[in-house]
A and B are shown apart, each in its own frame.
Chain A
Amino acid sequence: MNSTTATSSLTAPRRLRTTGGLLLALVAVLMIGAPLAIYPLFLIKILCFALFAAAFNLVLGYAGLLSFGHAAFFGGAAYVAAHAAKVWQLPFELAVLAGTAFAAFLGLAFGTLAIRRHGIYFAMITLALAQMIYFMAVQMPFTGGEDGIQAVPRGYLLGIVDLRNITAMYYTVLGGTVLGLVIIWRTVNSPFGHILSAIRENETRVTSLGLKPERYKLIAFTLSAALSGFAGSLKAIAFQLASLVDVTWHMSGEVILMTLLGGMGTLIGPIVGASIVVGLEHFLSTSGLPITFIIGLFFVVCVMMFRRGVFGELKALLDRPRA
């Protein structure tokens, strides 16, 4: 991921910052008012995938690692959270925490293995490891095989707010997503985040400065896995379902597309991408057109024609000095 994603927040002009601030305020107002106009469950889906894509972007866009196995964290955490809420009858917060912790642990394990190899091998190893989790999910009894874990109780937020109310559930997920995005934003703009970008641009040079790139990559990968798991757990509880769909390699591919389509290496990009892909699938699901084919077509078009993604192109347009 070289020159195309090189613009970091350090070089972003002030004009973009103010535009971004205004945009953010607008989005905040829209998101708070949205359930009045749009079906909340659909919005929840967008939020969960936006967080998932943003978490994925932490490794692809900032650390330059192409993981082809993020579905394992998203879907794996969904199973754990659903099981915790349904069978162990843990409260909402603890169920989500259990899912997130599982994803973090899995991320640490995957990362430790995959970071031993570079570039293209990294992608293949993460894909293979995630497929292993998929086969386990198919066979293990607690996942419920093809049926998945159904009728997961939503419970109460902090023991008070009844989450069976869909609006309450929406605002809870909104809060969770914002929390996750703030963590990502803080990480990217910290010294740690700058070292990550430096590793992406020139790993040898970072090593020569006396830093250990492997350690940074592993921390970023684990954090990304944990946040993906957080998103997956929220989705499982809100939809009251954990199923095989979320652990398939198609899902790993979809999150790559969301990030690529929106613009990798930007904070807003993955959120834009996730909204487009989820919206598109929602629209296609009733049209009878083959979804997989169209997702593939989007991939080809993105890679061939606009590698910076929707937001990346927009940003480039704004960055261009006025004549």
Chain B
Amino acid sequence: MTDIFGVPIAVLLGQLLLGLINGSFYALLSLGLAIIFGMLNVINFAHGAFYMLGGFAAWLLLSSLGLGYWETLVIAPLVVGALGAVVERLFLKRLYRIDHLYSLLLTFGIALMLEGLFRHVFGAAGKPYPIPPSLTGGINLGFMFLPMYRAWVIVASLAVCLATWLAIERTRLGAYLRAATENPSLVQAFGINVPLMLTLTYAFCVGLAGFAGALAAPLYQVSPGMGSSIIIVVFAVVVIGGMGSIGGAIVTALALGVIEGLTKTFYPAASSIAVFVVMVLVILIRPSGLFSREA
């Protein structure tokens, strides 16, 4: 039994692994989107651009400062997060009181600006980023070859997702956050600095996107368009999962990555639209999304 429907099992597992990796990136991004939406009531269109920024930060730190992979993995998200904090303080903050379609349009504009700027400065072509020496090579599992870096990507992103989830569900700070989502003025009345909390939340989630971008740099090339191509798929993921639950967002993201991988194996022509087809089905069957709390 080495073939499934005419596809060698090693190829199938390879595509599943790729799907799982894509799924981990979707998870990191949709997690951030869901938290930002829950706290700030903002759909952050710029999330993809911040992901791209993370990738470029990693590439720039390596190529101009010669910093290693591990330092980069810490610094890139911090840089992106700091920029996010500036965006929140300067722009988003002023839009909380009006229709949230405006904040969507604002972040869309910011995404266009970032993408346009990077395309202008660095060109449209991808920039290669080498896999760090400590993570080259791979493990032979007997039935397939598992490259080390890919295994690391899945482990790292799942660990970060899980830690974020635990921090929100189990810690005191997380409890404040959840309370502020329900009733910000009451939480503020208890002496908690809600505006600061909003800024930090936005910065943190955008930092997660930057982390994903830095993590993705050695796998895919770093290019100005990498953000906009992933953000639309992540939107579909968010529509499918519904933004009510963080755990739901992670599970949906991984599942859709795997579905995409499977489609690539059995019917490659449809792989780019697989997620969207699932979205259509979910809207027809369960309009509010799989894990949503809204009616």
A in complex with B: yes
Q: Is A136 an interface residue (CB 8 A)?
A: yes
Q: Is A310 an interface residue (CB 8 A)?
A: no
B239–A117 touching, CB < 8 Å: yes
Minimum CB–CB distance for B22 against chain A, Å:
16
Contacting chain B: which of A33-41, A100-108, A288-296?
A288-296
B239–A128 touching, CB < 8 Å: yes
Measured between alpha carbons, how far is A127 from B115 in the docked complex, in Å? 18
Measured between alpha carbons, how far is A304 from B120 in the docked complex, in Å? 25
- Give the residue of B108, B235, B277, B287 whose beta carbon is less than 8 angstroms from that of A253: B108
Chain A residues closer than 8 Å to B111, beta-carbon distance: 296
Q: Is B86 an interface residue (CB 8 A)?
A: no
Chain B contact residues, majority secondary structure: helix
A292–B112 touching, CB < 8 Å: yes
- Give the residue of B99, B101, B120, B284 whose beta carbon is less than 8 angstroms from that of A290: B120
- Give the residue of A124, A299, A304 whose beta carbon is less than 8 angstroms from that of B43: A124
Minimum CB–CB distance for B204 against chain A, Å:
21
Interface residues on A, range: 35 or more
Q: Is A234 an interface residue (CB 8 A)?
A: no
- Give the residue of A1, A117, A129, A136 whose beta carbon is less than 8 angstroms from that of B99: A1
Measured between alpha carbons, how far is A323 from B218 in the docked complex, in Å? 66
Chain A residues closer than 8 Å to B91, beta-carbon distance: 300, 304
Measured between alpha carbons, how far is A4 from B98 in the docked complex, in Å? 10
Chain B residues closer than 8 Å to A4, beta-carbon distance: 98
A303–B43 touching, CB < 8 Å: no
Q: Is B4 an interface residue (CB 8 A)?
A: no
Q: Is B110 an interface residue (CB 8 A)?
A: yes
Measured between alpha carbons, how far is A116 from B283 in the docked complex, in Å? 7
Contacting chain A: which of B51-59, B172-180, B268-276?
B268-276
Chain A contact residues, majority secondary structure: helix
- Give the residue of A125, A131, A250 whose beta carbon is less than 8 angstroms from that of B239: A125
Q: Is B251 an interface residue (CB 8 A)?
A: no
Chain A residues closer than 8 Å to B104, beta-carbon distance: 66, 120, 123
Minimum CB–CB distance for B26 against chain A, Å:
13
Chain A residues closer than 8 Å to B228, beta-carbon distance: 249
Q: Is A145 an interface residue (CB 8 A)?
A: no
B110–A135 touching, CB < 8 Å: no
Measured between alpha carbons, how far is A294 from B120 in the docked complex, in Å? 11
B156-187 vs A: 1/0 string, CB under 8 Å? 00000000000000000000000000000000
Chain A residues closer than 8 Å to B98, beta-carbon distance: 2, 4, 307
Interface residues of A in 271-314 (CB under 8 A from B): 290-300, 302-304, 307
Minimum CB–CB distance for B123 against chain A, Å:
11
Q: Is A207 an interface residue (CB 8 A)?
A: no
Residue of B95, B104, B111, B119 with most chain A CB atoms under a 10 A cut-off: B104
Chain B residues closer than 8 Å to A299, beta-carbon distance: 105-106, 108-109, 112
Quick one: closest B residue to A252, CB to CB? B108
A124–B115 touching, CB < 8 Å: no
- Give the residue of A66, A135, A302 whose beta carbon is less than 8 angstroms from that of B272: A135
Minimum CB–CB distance for A121 against chain B, Å:
6
Interface residues of B in 241-278 (CB under 8 A from A): 269, 272-273, 275-277
- Give the residue of B95, B120, B238, B284 whose beta carbon is less than 8 angstroms from that of A124: B238
Chain A residues closer than 8 Å to B37, beta-carbon distance: 120
Quick one: closest B residue to A125, CB to CB? B239
Measured between alpha carbons, how far is A291 from B113 in the docked complex, in Å? 9
Minimum CB–CB distance for A129 against chain B, Å:
7
Chain B residues closer than 8 Å to A66, beta-carbon distance: 101, 104-105
Q: Is B280 an interface residue (CB 8 A)?
A: yes
B94–A293 touching, CB < 8 Å: no
Chain A residues closer than 8 Å to B235, beta-carbon distance: 124, 127-128
A303–B106 touching, CB < 8 Å: yes
Minimum CB–CB distance for B232 against chain A, Å:
5
Measured between alpha carbons, how far is A160 from B104 in the docked complex, in Å? 49
Minimum CB–CB distance for A262 against chain B, Å:
14
Q: Is A211 an interface residue (CB 8 A)?
A: no
Measured between alpha carbons, how far is A129 from B279 in the docked complex, in Å? 9
- Give the residue of A114, A131, A250, A293 whose beta carbon is less than 8 angstroms from that of B120: A293
Measured between alpha carbons, how far is A123 from B105 in the docked complex, in Å? 10
- Give the residue of A120, A128, A139 whose beta carbon is less than 8 angstroms from that of B101: A120
Measured between alpha carbons, how far is A292 from B279 in the docked complex, in Å? 29
Minimum CB–CB distance for A115 against chain B, Å:
10
Quick one: closest B residue to A5, CB to CB? B99
Chain B residues closer than 8 Å to A249, beta-carbon distance: 228, 232
A290–B109 touching, CB < 8 Å: no
Q: Give 8 CB contacts A-B under 8 Å.
A: A123-B101, A128-B232, A128-B236, A135-B273, A290-B120, A292-B116, A294-B116, A302-B109
Q: A66-B101, A139-B272, A300-B113 are in contact. List 4 more A-B contacts (CB 8 A).
A: A292-B116, A293-B116, A296-B109, A296-B115
Instruction: Give residues in B with beta carbon < 8 Å to A.
Output: 37, 43, 91, 94-95, 98-102, 104-106, 108-117, 119-120, 228, 232-233, 235-236, 238-239, 269, 272-273, 275-277, 279-280, 283-284, 287-288
